[in-house]
Amino acid sequence: MWWLCSMGMAGAQGTPSTATPAPAAIVLGAGERVISLDSRSRFWIDDTGKRPVEQVEAAALADTLPWQLRVPGSSYNLDGNKAMWIVFDTVLPTRKRWFIELQSSGLDRAQLFYRGADGQWVEQEAGDVKAVSDWPVPGRFPTFELSSAGTEPVRHFLRVEHARVDFATPVALYDQAALVASREREQFLLGAYFGLALLITLVAAANAIAYRDRNFAVYAVYVGSLAIGQLAYLGVGAQHIWNEMLKWNEVATFVLPGISGAAALWFARTVTEPGRFSKVLDMFVWLLILALLAAVALDTWLLTRTSFAVVMVLAVLSLVTVAGLIAMVWIKGDDPYIRLIALGFVPVVVMALFPVARGLNLMPASGLTRYALAIGAAVEMPILFYALTLRGNRRRESRVRAAALSHNDALTGIAHQRTLLQRLDGAIARARTLKRPCALLAARISNFDAIIEEFGRETGERMLVVAASHLRHAITDIDLAARVGSHDFALLLEGPTTTEIAMSRAQQLVASGLRPNDALPPAATLKFHITVGMLPDGERDAPASLQWLVDGLDSMRPDARKLIRPLNF
């Protein structure tokens, strides 16, 4: 009876129209686990958006509508309450479960219809009009289960509403195992991406607070807003965070990526500082940021294709501006880390072109338009974080050195004599209490005066810095290196220490000094004289113990062949 009524409705619509013949029924489970509907289904666009499925079914039976074959890469304008109908037939020889997935988030509405075994319509619905938890198969993309009626062909009708952006979403059939595997893989990769973004955001914010670094503060805002924009664009937010907030979900896909674009432009301005080169350019960047935010607000209010196109055009202009800022400071700037920052921007600037092109309806939806920006951001984030860390360390270096002057030598950066004596007092007291000796080494650059006479005072100062570097490499975390004279140094090896360990450190220091160093002229090598003492030694306190070792250095002849002298063993 339902078939006769449907035919009657079709007959009332007029004479048959020219239509593409229906493709053969898709045999599910015949070796393929994922089947694209491109070239295997037909479509028709309902300009009114009000045709019920019964009329569409009747028209499909009578070929009274201009059905067209779906071809790969096609896009369709569904503005003005239009709806697209996609019809395809399936045969399921086995009892395996099969699903149809529309591989795009943010669809306004998607519905699947087919006749059940009792002849009644089975209807499933998903999209922004319903909470993801209420979808037939919850997930990031609208997904429906196909009929499992048996070996007879079953006709399915897929209805899609999607305004403001052309519908160009790939549609494919999956068996249950393939669908589950695909979703698990996507969730793993997206979890890694958002975990990295959260970590970088938190660490950048912590650095901004700890070091009062504006670059890290803006970077934290940029990375955070980019990640939130991707939550909306990739459908993760609608699935896990704002599942029940339907009104917000309708606009989040358009609002949040636009805000992240403004944040990216703000960050680019912060690190490149265009005001140093042109006040006009700096003002233009600020105006572009404000224009982008205003366009996003206007688009949220109007919700039209034109207003969204304005946002996309401004996004393209923002990408061009970011590229221009990086190129400008690369050519004119004197920042040694700007090239590394520029390298970090490249992946996002390039990859962002694909979702922007999708927003402008220049290319169909695909894995590249969906995930390109996330891939670019995953590459960009650690590079920019590393570059900002190096840049921040360089800018803080003078403050750190100034703060360290109270306990470090200004030239060499290692501890000065007062700090050494304080540590040595505690080390001797612990050694007496625990009856475990520590060791003190005094080292002198015996050829220091000769080097200055031959190469000059600047080379002599470089020798002191190189000597301090050798001392740092000769100690562990619990030991201390110090400068105790114009070209005298000391190493405190805190206990428990043996004579063998002390002599090994002394030999290491002598050998490292004799090796050529790039910071010094080829003929300038460091010749160390070293005295070694095991402490405590009698009743000597810290100053007396240090003087004891320095006196031992004084007693060594400049041309002595034995460069290491143990004093009490």
Please spell the DSSP secondary structure of 21-51, one letter per residue: PPPPPEETTSS-SEEE-TTS-EEEEESSS--
Cβ proximity of 131 and 244 under 8 Å? yes
Mean pLDDT of 268-273: 92
User: Which of residues 400 and 195 earns the better pLDDT score?
Assistant: 195
Element (H, E) at 307: helix 305-332
- The upper half-sphere exposure of residue 130, i.e. CA atoms within 13 Å in the direction of its Cβ, equals 19
Question: Is a pLDDT exceeding 90 seen at residue 440?
Answer: yes
Alpha-carbon distance of 303 to 255, in angstroms, equals 11
User: What values do phi and psi take at 45, rounded to 5?
Assistant: -105, 120
% the chain with pLDDT above 90: 70
Average pLDDT, the chain: 90
Q: What is the pTM of this model?
A: 0.77
Burial class (CB in 10 A: 0-12, 13-18, 19+), 244: exposed
- Residue 338's pLDDT is what? 82
pLDDT of residue 2: 34
What's the rounded mean pLDDT across residues 12-16? Answer: 35
Greatest mean pLDDT range, 18-22, 273-277, 294-298, 434-438: 294-298
Q: What does the DSSP assignment read for 472-523?
A: HHT--TT-EEEE-SSSEEEEEEPSS--HHHHHHHHHHHHHHHHS--TTS-TT
pLDDT at 13: 34
With CA atoms as reference, report the closest residue to 300 among 311, 289, 290: 311
Kindly tell me if the per-residue pLDDT of 50 is higher than 50: yes
Helix (H/G/I), strand (E/B), else coil: 360:
coil
- pLDDT average, residue stretch 282-298: 96
> Which pLDDT score, from 0 to 100, does residue 6 have?
35
Q: How far apart are the first and last CA of the chain?
A: 113
Q: Give just the sign of the alpha carbon dihedral 14, 16, 20, 24.
A: positive
Nearest to 524 by CA among 467, 468, 472: 467
Q: How many CB atoms lie within 10 A of CB 211?
A: 16
How many whole angstroms separate alpha carbon 132 and alpha carbon 242? 9
Per residue in 42-68, is it b (16+ CB within 10 Å) or e — as a string?
bbbbbeebebebebbbbbbebbbbebe
For residue 84, the surrounding DSSP H or E stretch is strand 83-91
Three-state DSSP state, 122: strand
Which pLDDT does position 538 carry in this prediction?
84
pLDDT tops 60 at residue 16: no
Report whether pLDDT(12) > 50. Answer: no
Confidence of residue 523 (pLDDT cuts 50, 70, 90): confident
pLDDT digit string (tens) for 299-349?
999 989 999 999 999 999 999 999 999 888 888 766 778 888 888 999 999
The Cα 363–Cα 64 span in angstroms is 31
From residue 75, alpha-carbon distances to 70, 105, 204 in Å are 10, 16, 41
* β-bridge mates for residue 88, sequence order: 156
Higher pLDDT, 116 or 5: 116
User: Is the pLDDT confidence value at 557 over 90?
Assistant: no
If you average pLDDT over residues 456-460, what whole number do you get? 90
Orientation of helix 246-272 relative to helix 338-351, angle to 10°: 150
User: Is residue 135 over pLDDT 60?
Assistant: yes
The strand pair at 564-566 and 528-535 is best described as parallel
Report whether pLDDT(404) > 90. Answer: no
φ and ψ at residue 23, rounded to 5 degrees: -65, 165
Comparing 524 with 100, the larger pLDDT belongs to 100
Q: What are phi and psi of 77, to 5 degrees?
A: -85, 115
Tokens in use for 348? 């996002």
For residue 94, what pLDDT band results from cuts at 50, 70 and 90? confident
User: H or E segment at 416?
Assistant: strand 415-416
For the record, the structure tokens of 64 come out as: 């009274």
Cβ–Cβ under 8 Å, residues 552 and 532: no
Q: pLDDT per residue over 255-265, tens digit each?
A: 999 999 999 99
- 98-102 and 171-175: which strand pairing? antiparallel
The secondary structure of residue 274, as a DSSP letter, is G
Chain centroid to Cα 71, Å, comes to 36
Average pLDDT over residues 234-241: 95
Predicted local confidence at residue 406, as pLDDT: 62
Cβ(265)–Cβ(321) below 8 Å: yes
In the chain, the percentage of residues whose pLDDT exceeds 70 is 95
Q: Which residue has the tokens 């080390």?
A: 427
Dihedral sign for Cα atoms in the order 451, 456, 457, 462: negative
Higher-confidence position of 311 and 494 = 311
Per-residue pLDDT at 17 exceeds 60: no
Q: In the structure, what pLDDT confidence band is assigned to residue 496 with cuts at 50, 70 and 90? A: confident
At residue 3, does pLDDT exceed 60?
A: no
